[in-house]
Amino acid sequence: MLLPAWEMCLYGLLAVGSHLYAFYEAHQVSQKYEAAMDRRFGLEPGTLFRGLKKDPMDFEWSYWIEWGRERILWLLAGHLLVSQVSRLLVEKYKPWCLMVYGMAACWLLLGIKGFAVILLHATISFAVAQFQLSLLTWLCSLILLSTLRIPAVEEAKRKWYDTENEYYLLLFTVSVRCLFCTSFSLEYCWHGPAQKSSHSFLWMLAYVFYYPTFHNGPLMNFDEFSKQMRRQEAFSLKTNLSMLIVGIIRIFFWWCLAELMIHLMYIHALYSSAPPLETASYWALGGLALAQVLFFYVKYLVLYGVPALLLQMDGLKPPALPCCVSLMHSFTKMWRSFDVGLHRFLVRYIYVPMGGSQSSLLGTLFSTALTFAFVSYWHGGQSYLWYWGALNWLGVIVENGVKRILSISLIQDLIESFFSPRIRRRLHAVLASVSTSMLILSNLIFLGGNHIGKIYWNRIFLEGWPWATLTVLGFLYCYSHVGIEWEHTYAVN
């Protein structure tokens, strides 16, 4: 530990204490507007926590929990059964057993037309990959992705289903499948003729229809998937059973925590109504912001935790689960350690092929811009997503620019001669606090839209200057110290 123990304890206490008090204020403002939120949005009666009402306004959480309860969890249980039996009896044919099961589950849930759409996407991607031109593959992927946003095509697909929820399931599934098809096709382009047998159409289907990652990810690049799926390991039913029990307990805890948060704080209902945010205290405003980003984190521990557990049960190594957002102190770290699978995809297939950090300054700017442009478009391409992408691009560029300047030997020597290691750590936390404030703002735009970002910018940085702004940066300074120390201690990459 670089800083004195008492100093780090002080930062830790201030970080934890400010979180708790901000949550208390967010709870108080939720209670104050409970009747108004109930009339406008229809708060649901609490089932897990009786006596409390539940905020139902987070579409993603309500949507996947409903689907999971009705059908998806049962289909995942079926996948687990097929996987364990095939590992026990026919390990060599496990990929094909799981492929057939995934195709059957897709047919059952999305119908023959939904199944045909995904099979058509895979077939077109594979056919275009035969030309072995990365640019053509990307063009094909973008065209297929763009078909999801053609109004006439959307209307036609809606008519296939009785409910809007069923149509959205197809939409979300095809969006994720587009990334899997792109990964396979690019790997096919990059491998020589001798390796084509491991990149056959059958392997593409095994990858695309692998059920645990089918509807919502997490993303796993094809080469990682195929290498691990081919690897035959010793199978222990006892070890797998204990892994399953521990995993279920962990996921159940995360689910309870997420449910508790939306019972105690009506985050999403309040974010859908501007007046409460414009009149709430700064503590309540901060508490709602923290609750919003932390709920998003816990939500993805559940949504990625379930498929990650099944990947482990299948003998695969899933991408690491999201890192706690309260420990994030830079844009770069956020992208590396929140959605690890998506980050690996973006780096391997866009950032590095376009030159990445090894190219000139203009090349780095362009490759980074292209990466964020794609991720903004893939998420939906709405105006607020372009603002979110632009803020993240700017954040990453500024952070890397500062890092490059500080790595110049002359500047390094000057810093080391004038500042002790402890002072350098504190200055690092000062810069990190500014970066974290912009990171939180960009995430609020992603989760709540442009109007939410505008409210926070006006209240914290314009109307609140200097005291509210400096107070927020002061607490973020404490969070940054905790995050930096955590990173150094556990060497999280």
Triad 135, 139, 143: Cα angle to 5°: 170
DSSP 8-state class, residue 459: I
DSSP SS3 for 44:
strand
Helix spans in 191-281 (H): 201-208, 222-230, 237-264, 267-271, 274-279
Alpha helices in 130-163 (DSSP H): 134-146, 151-158
DSSP state of 191: S
Give the whole-angstrom CA distance, residue 111 versus residue 437: 45
Question: What is the spatial distance between Cα 15 and Cα 18, in angstroms, rounded to a whole number?
Answer: 5
Annotated active-site residue in 379, 428, 451, 481: 379
Q: How far is CA 140 from the centre of its chain?
A: 25
Distance CA 288, CA 447 (A): 12
Taking Cα atoms as reference points, which of 176, 192, 310 lies closest to residue 243?
Answer: 310
Mark residue 106 as left, alpha or beta (left: phi above 0; alpha: psi -120 to 50; beta: remaining). Answer: alpha
Quick check: is 379 catalytic? yes
Whole-angstrom distance, CA of residue 205 vs CA of residue 197:
14
User: Contact 311/317 with Cβ under 8 angstroms?
Assistant: yes
Active-site residue list: 379
